Amino acid sequence: MQIATDDVSVDQKELNPWEAQAVRFDLAAKKLNLDTGIWKVLRQPAREIIVHFPVTMDDGSIEVFTGYRVQHNVARGPAKGGLRYAPDVSLDEVRALASWMTWKCAVVNIPFGGAKGGVICDPKKMSQTELERMTRRYTAEIIEFIGPEKDVPAPDMNTNEQTMAWIMDTYSMHMRQTVTSVVTGKPVNIGGSRGRTAATGHGIAVVCDEAIAHLGMKPAETTVIVQGFGNVGSNAAKQLHARGYKVVGIAEWDGGLYNAAGIDIAALAEHKAKTGSVRNFSGAEEAVSEELLMRECDVLVPAATENVITSQNAAGVKAKILLEGANGPTTPRADEILEKNGVFVIPDILANAGGVTTSYFEWVQDRMGYFWTEAEVNERLDRIMTESFREVLRYAKEHGVNNRIAAYMLAVDRVAYTTKQRGIYA
């Protein structure tokens, strides 16, 4: 559903995620009257690693893959962030995602910096054994740069708890001891946290509850359309459905669904698990995904990828609340249009921070070797998400800015403060 990059009507710059990040950072830094030196420090990633590495494919041939790991900032703690597998991964995308992790961890006030990794590949065309060999070799290539106190990867697009188990095992083999806290998002029996898989969706539902209460709305009278039915989208839909919201639309990459009476999300998840797609689901009528984004609803949750709401379609968004489950789904030019139209935006670095927050809990539990119940995890997650939402709103009001710039200001302020406090080593 990504807007085609050969579409001449959409400026290349608008669709470059690193540019999109920089525009928001500059706006926030300006509002904060940020010291020029600190501005320069935070505007660049601290470290960018590029690796080209061979993998033996199932047919015996050798393929060479390109992988990235970008560590944007480590002022507040070890770098933290996911690893994605996709054919269109680029250094600028990974840079942007790494910086969003810095800001996200600071918004929810957890002791991490920001990082992101990516490998250019088409996971849909690879077997499990090829994915395993690629993951292990990528891990070996970046091994001196990751670690519980250095940089802690996690799942992102097209990676999951199995991927994390492979990374943990590869790292542990090299260290000659099991090091569970080198990654988060692991299976629960090998140091994963209860609640981690559903955590991003859970956090989305918590801030949605806060937002509708703030706007004087009630779940039962609130309609929701979710774009994406992967880990984030499906868990957000499940959580919102469970809380009494009416999830009327699901827009997936291979087709959409609409039911004005509400979709049974548990049944849809079962259907997708069985058939591999949301298509041909009997509990809703088929719809065109791009059109679903523009349909009448109260809450629109883009939970797939970047550049979904752009200058080309932002004016057509009819939702009252744009709740960003994905990283970077909205471009800066779309921000301006949404603001003019009074759309209440819950920005990605707040809305989807539930994932990394429970990753933080996983890292803590691994390091102390004592594991919490799901209820304990979720209670702590709820508290952090609620407090962060209120803090962002307070910043927006105090500084007369929109929610996104407020979230950036809060984050940049915290990272800048720590950077100054630590001082510049030389």
Q: Site for ligand GLU (CB under 6 A): which residue of 359, 365, 378, 419?
A: 359
Angstrom CA distances, 393 to 200, 205, 288, 346, 401, stand at 20, 17, 34, 10, 10
CB of 347 to ligand GLU, least distance (A): 13
Strand partners, 79: 151
Provide the minimum distance between the beta carbon of 327 and ligand GLU in the complex, in angstroms, as a whole number.
5
Residues 6+ apart with CB under 8 A from 113: 71, 72, 73, 74, 75, 76, 77, 78, 79, 80, 101, 102, 105
Q: Which stretch binds ligand GLU (CB under 6 A): 208-216, 350-358, 390-398, 405-413?
A: 350-358
Cβ-based nearer residue to ligand GLU, 81 or 249: 81
Q: Which stretch binds ligand GLU (CB under 6 A): 4-12, 79-87, 272-280, 299-307?
A: 79-87
Whether the CB-CB separation of 225 and 279 falls below 8 Å is answered with no
Interaction of residue 80 with ligand GLU, rule CB under 6 A: yes
Q: What type of residue is 399?
A: H
State the Cα–Cα distance between residues 159 and 321, nearest whole angstrom. Answer: 29
| 231/248 Cα distance (integer angstroms) | 19
Q: Is 365 in the site for ligand GLU (CB under 6 A)?
A: no
Q: Do residues 272 and 278 touch, judged by C-beta distance below 8 A? A: yes
Binding mask 109-148 for ligand GLU (x = CB under 6 A): ----------------------------------------
Q: Give the per-residue contact string, 300-329, with ligand GLU (x = CB under 6 A; - = no).
A: ---------------------------x--
Q: Where does this chain touch ligand GLU (CB under 6 A) — which range of 215-223, 348-356, 378-386, 403-411?
A: 348-356
- Nearer Cβ to ligand GLU, position 265 or 356? 356
Q: Strand, helix or coil at 309?
A: strand
Q: Pick between residue 222 and residue 327 the one whose CB is nearest to ligand GLU.
A: 327
The piece of 124-132, 332-340, 351-359, 379-387 that touches ligand GLU (CB under 6 A) is 351-359
Length of the chain: 426
Spatial separation of the C-alpha atoms in residues 164 and 161, rounded to whole Å = 5
Nearer to ligand GLU among residue 82 and residue 249 (C-beta): 82
Binding residues with ligand GLU: total (CB under 6 A): 11
Task: Mark out the alpha helices in 244-347 (DSSP H runs).
Answer: 265-275, 289-292, 332-340
Strand order in the sheet with 62-73: 47-56, 62-73, 114-120, 79-86, 151-155
Work out whether 352 is an interface residue with ligand GLU (CB under 6 A).
Answer: yes
The single residue listed with the structure tokens 């250019």 is 120
What is the torsional sign of CA 82, 88, 89, 95? Answer: negative
The residue sitting closest to ligand GLU, measured at its beta carbon, is 82
Strand locations in 62-189 (E) = 62-73, 79-86, 114-120, 151-155
Q: How many CB atoms lie within 10 A of CB 226?
A: 33
C-beta of 256: minimal distance to ligand GLU in Å?
24
Q: Residue 355 CB, nearest distance to ligand GLU (Å)?
A: 4
User: Which amino acid, 245?
Assistant: Y
Identify which of residues 31 and 76 has a Cβ nearer to ligand GLU in the complex.
76
116 is catalytic: yes
Which of 31, 80, 116, 246 is catalytic? The answer is 116
Window 149-188: residues binding ligand GLU (CB under 6 A): 154, 156, 184
Binding mask 231-270 for ligand GLU (x = CB under 6 A): ----------------------------------------
Region binding ligand GLU by CB under 6 A among candidate stretches 23-31, 56-64, 246-254, 354-362: 354-362
Alpha carbons 282 and 318: distance in angstroms, whole number: 27
Cβ 148 to ligand GLU shortest distance, Å = 13
Name residues contacting ligand GLU, limited to 81-100 (CB under 6 A): 81-82
Q: Which residues contact 46 (CB under 8 A, 6 or more apart)?
A: 71, 72, 73, 74
Chain residues binding ligand GLU by CB under 6 A are 80-82, 154, 156, 184, 327, 352, 355-356, 359
Q: Which residues are catalytic?
A: 116
